[in-house]
Chain A
C-alpha cells in the first residue's frame, strides 16, 4: 500500500496531456536566457545606483524566463528582483505598483509568491515581500493573485 496514489497512471495513457502543451514555450534556450538575465541584472544595478526603482522594475519584469530548463536564469532574475524590492522605501511601494502595467503587476505577483515560497533564501525577506504583496493586491485586486495561481508559465 506504500504506493497508494503515488502510481503514475498517466504512463499508461498514450494520449496523455503534457504540461508543456498548455502554454507557449519560452523562446530562448538556457544559455541565452542566462545571458539575458545577466544583462538585465546589470541594467537593474545601474538603474538602482541612480535611484530609479520604476526603471529597474520595468527592466526586470519584461520577458521574464519561465518554464523548465531555465532554472539558472530564473534564479538570477529572482535575485535581481529581490534586490529591487529590498532597496525600495516602503512609502514608495504603493505608487510604484500602481504605475506598473497589468502584465507587469501579474509578473511581479508571481515573483512575490515565488519569494515567499523560499524563506531565508538569499536576501529574501518575508516582511518586505508581504509589504509589497499588500500594496500590489490593493492596486491589482484578487484577480492578480488568481492569475499567479493559474498561469502555467511559472517563473
Chain B
C-alpha cells in the first residue's frame, strides 16, 4: 500500500511511453518527432538518448523487453525498429534505426511488438493494420496488410499471448479480433475460444458498444480468452467470445482512452477522467471497483484539496473557469481570488494526473498478476501505481470530475 510514484518528465504532453525489460530506462515521445530515452539515476529520471529519424510526430512507442529493440510509429507514415549496435569507430553502443516497409498513405497511429518479439503490428489511418516481420536478406522489415473489414482509422492494438491473434480498436466504432498469422514466422496456433483454423486476415470477432463511439483501447486478458475495449461513449465492454457475451459498463465519467489487464479478473482503465479506475469481474459479470488515485487524501501540493467538494453537487458546473466568469459577470471582477479556493492554484485538479491519461502499461509483476502499472498523460507526468492500492470512489463517482 504505497503512494504512487510521481515523476514530472516534461512540461509537454507525453504521447506514448514504454519501459525497457528491467525498467531502468523509459522511452517517451514528448509530443515531438524524437524519441527521448530517460534512465533512472537514483530517484530521478535523466535524459540519456534522443532518437531522431522521424520527421513528424511520433504516435506510439513499444520497447521489446527481451530482444531490447524499440519500434516507433509516426505521423510521417513510417515506422522504425531501433537496435543498439556498436559503433564501428568507437565501439560504443548506439541506437540504429532499421527501415520498415509499411506501404501506407496515412499516419501510423499505434504499434505493438508481438509476445515473441518476432513481428509487430502497426495501426494506421489508411484503414489497415500492417503486420511486419523481418526479412534478413534485405535487412528490413516487410509488412502484410490486414484490411477487411476495417472502415476507418485503427486507433489501438493488442496481441493475444499466442502470438497470432491481434485485437484492434477502430474509429468505425468497432473492436475486432484478427488473425495475423504469418507462415514463415509462426507455428500453427492451438485452437482457442477465438477459432480453430486461423489463416491471415481471418476475422474472429467484431464487437461494438450500444451507443457507439470510437474504440480507443483494446486488450486481451492474460489468458487471451477475454477481450476488453473502451469506447468514446464512456463505456468499458468486456467480451466473452464463446457466447458471445458482452458486458458493457456505462460510466458516469468522461471516456477512457487506454486500458491494461492486471489479472484474469481485473483491469485498469484511464483517460479523460485523469485517474486510473479499476474494474473487476468474471464470466458472470463485471463492475467498477474503485480508483488508484485517492483523491480524498492530502497531496504534497497541499492547500487546495477539498476545493469545490464541500458545497458542490454532482453535475453542477463548479470549475475554476466557471467561477472566474461568474465573478466577472456578477461583480465585475476579473480575478478569481474571492471565489472559493486560493487564486493561483484554482485550476489544479484533485487527481495526480493534471490532464488526460493517454497511456497505461504494466510495470512490474507477471502478466497474470501485475503488481504495478505506469501511466503517462498530457500533463507530462509519469506515474507508477500500486494496483492493489484501490480506493472506493467517494460518493457518487461523478463528483470526482473536475473537483
Contact = CB atoms under 8 A, between A and B. Distances in A.
A153 B211 contact: yes
A143 B271 CA distance: 13
Contacts of B127: 15
A150 B213 contact: yes
Interface in B381-403: 396-398, 401
Interface stretch (A56-64, A119-127, A134-142): A134-142
B214 to A, nearest CB: 8
B212 A137 contact: no
Given A142-B398, A150-B233, A17 B172 contact: yes
Contacts, number: 79
Given A22-B172, A153-B212, A143 B252 contact: yes
A125 B252 CA distance: 27
Interface in A89-137: 102-103, 106, 134, 137
A21 B254 CA distance: 25
A17 B251 contact: no
A22 B212 contact: yes
Nearest to A152: B212
B160 to A, nearest CB: 27
- State the majority secondary structure of interface residues on A: helix
Question: In which size bucket is the chain A interface?
Answer: 20 to 34
A72 interface: no
A149 to B, nearest CB: 9
B313 A143 contact: no
Given A146-B233, A146-B255, A150-B211, A17 B314 contact: no
Contact of B212 (A23, A103, A144): A23
B152 A17 contact: yes
A146 B254 contact: yes
Given A137-B314, A138-B315, A142-B398, A147 B172 contact: no
A147 B401 CA distance: 16
B252 A144 contact: yes
A150 B212 contact: yes
Nearest to A136: B315
B151 interface: yes
Contacts of B254: 142-143, 146
Contacts of A153: 211-212
Contacts of A106: 211, 250
B172 to A, nearest CB: 6
B173 interface: yes
B234 interface: yes
Interface in B360-398: 396-398
Question: In which size bucket is the chain B interface?
Answer: 20 to 34
B232 interface: yes
Interface string B181-213: 000000000000000000000000000001111
Contacts of A152: 173, 212
Nearest to A105: B250
B253 interface: yes
Contacts of B233: 146-147, 150-151
A147 B234 contact: yes
Contacts of B315: 134, 137-138, 141-142
Interface string B146-189: 00000110000000000000000000110000000000000000
B36 to A, nearest CB: 33
B234 A21 contact: no
A143 B172 contact: no
B172 A21 contact: yes
Contacts of B396: 138, 141
A22 B174 CA distance: 9
A141 B212 contact: no
A134 B318 CA distance: 13
Given A17-B151, A140-B252, A146 B212 contact: no
A142 B396 CA distance: 12
Contacts of A146: 232-234, 254-255
A141 B232 contact: no
5 contacts: A22-B173, A138-B398, A142-B252, A142-B401, A147-B213
Interface of B: 127, 151-152, 172-173, 210-213, 231-235, 250-255, 313-316, 396-398, 401
Given A150-B232, A150-B234, 17 more contacts: A21-B151, A23-B173, A102-B250, A103-B210, A106-B250, A137-B314, A141-B314, A142-B253, A142-B254, A142-B398, A143-B250, A143-B398, A147-B213, A150-B211, A150-B213, A150-B255, A153-B212
